[in-house]
Amino acid sequence: MPFLLMVFLTVACLPKWDPQAPPGWVDSIFWSALLTWLGVALTALEAFLAAWRVRRAVERDPGRRDRATARYERGRFGRQLLLIGVYALSLYGFSWGWAVAQLWSWDGRGAAPILGVKMLTLAPFFLSLLLSWVFAYDADRSLFLAAYRQLDGDPLARAILDSGPAAPVRAAAKEFGGRWSYVAFQARQKLALVFLPVLLLVAQQEISLQIDEKIQNEWAWQLSAVAIVGVLAVMLSLPWMVRLALGLKPLPPGPTRDRLMAAARRLRFRCSDVLLWDTRGSMANAMVIGVLPWPRYVVFTDRFLEEFNGDEVEAVFGHEVGHVKHQHMPYYLGFMMLSMAVMLYACLYASSLWPGLGGGSLGALLDGIPLNDAWIPAGAVLLLAYMFLVFGFLSRRCERQADVYGCRAVSCGRGDCVGHENGAGLAPRAVGLCPTGIRTFIYALEKVASVNGMSRDRPGFLQSWQHGSIARRVAFLYGLLKDPSAERRFQQRVALVKWGMIVVLGAALAVLIGVCPTPTDGTDPAPKEPSVEAPDQVPNAGIKLDLDSSRS
């Protein structure tokens, strides 16, 4: 879901709305605003009713908590899709972006936008998201307290807690916190990783709108160089920004930290620190952040460290180290850059065949495409399909590579191994597999599904498109347990897939650059000399007007 949300918000930020041509069915600023904010009100009402139904059910009968939780969690994903759908309808059906461009401009016609126009365009979606958390507080709090109300009915539990009948509920209510602290927590957890790239894109778009088009053309290369340097700076400083946004803290001193630091030395893995992510017990997960050794962090959630034993924590730590050892993050970055370049030049080639798409030049294409032809929504659908199918296929192979490294990280390398005593005797630099290491990582994977409430067999496409299902990953590792020599063949196949994709994308980019029109600065190509033998072929004014209108 975070990836889908990031792509959607990126698409929402890209258009430069044509002041003269609303993209949807509404061409009135008043009706556009009214229908857009009515959509916000309806999504808020749906969130309120969903939370009210949950609260009423568990307050009447705390024993229905598990069933109410399952139903509410299934509906939560649907509500997120509803928010995206309603906002997309506002943008492309009710012309909300066009209406904001008309209102928030110096000339009142959208030709001279005021700083902040992109943030105002996104405002209805973020307000809908905020209101959904405001009302979700009632449901989540009721579900949290229902467990303690069940304790109230157990005399032994009340005696152990040394309190009166309502004391567990009072203590739990205080622990859960207030509504606005809940909303702030949700915003930090759900938007931190998504909002950072979107915020950078919004800033770039806002700056671009404030700079005169003539200046942009004259300083095109300089501005591009500054943008590239800015992106690289952000990529390098991303671990610090994520740490600040998520409120990550260093893992406290103790046996777990000591064991992970020893594992890092044994695996020759360099990182800045191991951090703890406080999710209020809502998620058991781990991740690695950072391309360079410094800054680079390995992050574990609070629930993960509570539920997993030392061997399993070290195995999952090895999985995250595996992503770094196999250079997955730099590879993903290169793959995405090549893919974006291929898509851009493919659009340029298409615009040379159909000038209405963008004028047949790279400058005109990047300068903005009229939305009357629904070019951007169609492009977003194609981008999502490419990401889910192609990048998803690649990502699942890389995840299995990291799984194998996670097994190696807790292996001793002996094929006849029957167990490890407190992690003793593990192979340095993860050189080898053993049955105990493979089984340890399998147990960790199974527990990830169990603790997070995921289906190990059918978690749903949006939950498994990057990693694959737990059942498939476990089946693959059991195959290695039966035949350890299969690992070499697997690594060879993955290398062939990874570098084959790079070669195919590079060849496609070279071909597209060769067939695309040579003028890339938005200027007209040199006019042809009129032919004496064929005077009827002399260019007329109508062709000149068509070329001009395609760039307007």
Mean of the per-residue pLDDT values for the chain?
A: 81
Higher pLDDT, 524 or 9: 9
Q: Pull the structure tokens for residue 353.
A: 């065949």
pLDDT for residue 86 is more than 90: yes
Q: Determine phi and psi for 274, rounding to 5 degrees.
A: -110, 125
pTM of the model as a whole: 0.81
pLDDT at residue 144, as a whole number: 83
- Spatial CB neighbours of 117, under 8 Å, sequence gap ≥ 6: 100, 101, 104, 105, 206, 209
pLDDT for residue 231 is more than 90: no
Q: What angle do CA 240, 246, 248 make, to 5 degrees?
A: 70
Average the pLDDT over each of 1-5, 30-34, 67-71, 261-265 and give the range with the smallest value: 1-5
pLDDT at residue 465, as a whole number: 87
Percent of the chain residues past pLDDT 70, beyond the cut: 81
User: Domains of the chain: which residue ranges?
Assistant: 1-212, 384-515
Higher pLDDT, 156 or 86: 86
pLDDT at residue 183, as a whole number: 92
SS3 content of the chain, % helix, strand, coil (to 5): 70, 5, 25
Distance CA 261, CA 239 (A): 19
Q: Please compute the mean of the pLDDT values over residues 145-154 and round it to a whole number.
A: 66
pLDDT at residue 531, as a whole number: 46
Highest mean pLDDT among 87-91, 190-194, 497-501: 497-501
pLDDT at residue 44, as a whole number: 96
Please confirm whether the linkage preceding 295 is cis (ω < 30° from 0). yes
C-beta of residue 269 within 8 angstroms of C-beta of residue 220:
no
Q: Which strand (E) or helix (H) includes residue 288? A: strand 286-289
pLDDT for residue 83 is more than 80: yes
Distance CA 486, CA 407 (A): 14
Higher pLDDT, 11 or 96: 96
pLDDT band at 355 (very low <50, low <70, confident <90, very high): low
Higher pLDDT, 335 or 455: 335
Higher pLDDT, 380 or 388: 388
pLDDT for residue 530 is more than 50: no
pLDDT for residue 551 is more than 60: no
pLDDT at residue 481, as a whole number: 93
Q: Is 551 exposed, middle or buried (0-12, 13-18, 19+ CB in 10 A)?
A: middle
Amino acid letter, 313:
V
pLDDT at residue 81, as a whole number: 86
- Spatial CB neighbours of 482, under 8 Å, sequence gap ≥ 6: none
pLDDT band at 45 (very low <50, low <70, confident <90, very high): very high
pLDDT at residue 399, as a whole number: 97
Average the pLDDT over each of 80-84, 222-226, 264-268 and give the range with the smallest value: 222-226
pLDDT band at 166 (very low <50, low <70, confident <90, very high): very low
Distance CA 422, CA 434 (A): 16
pLDDT at residue 158, as a whole number: 53
Average the pLDDT over each of 207-221, 330-344, 345-359 and give the range with the smallest value: 345-359
C-beta of residue 139 within 8 angstroms of C-beta of residue 58:
no
What is the CB-side half-sphere exposure of residue 465 using CA atoms within 13 A?
15
Q: Is 12 exposed, middle or buried (0-12, 13-18, 19+ CB in 10 A)?
A: buried
Q: Please compute the mean of the pLDDT values over residues 75-92 and round it to a whole number.
A: 88
pLDDT for residue 19 is more than 80: no
pLDDT band at 125 (very low <50, low <70, confident <90, very high): very high
Higher pLDDT, 65 or 356: 65
Segment 335-350, tens digit of pLDDT: 988 998 898 888 778 7
Distance CA 190, CA 409 (A): 31
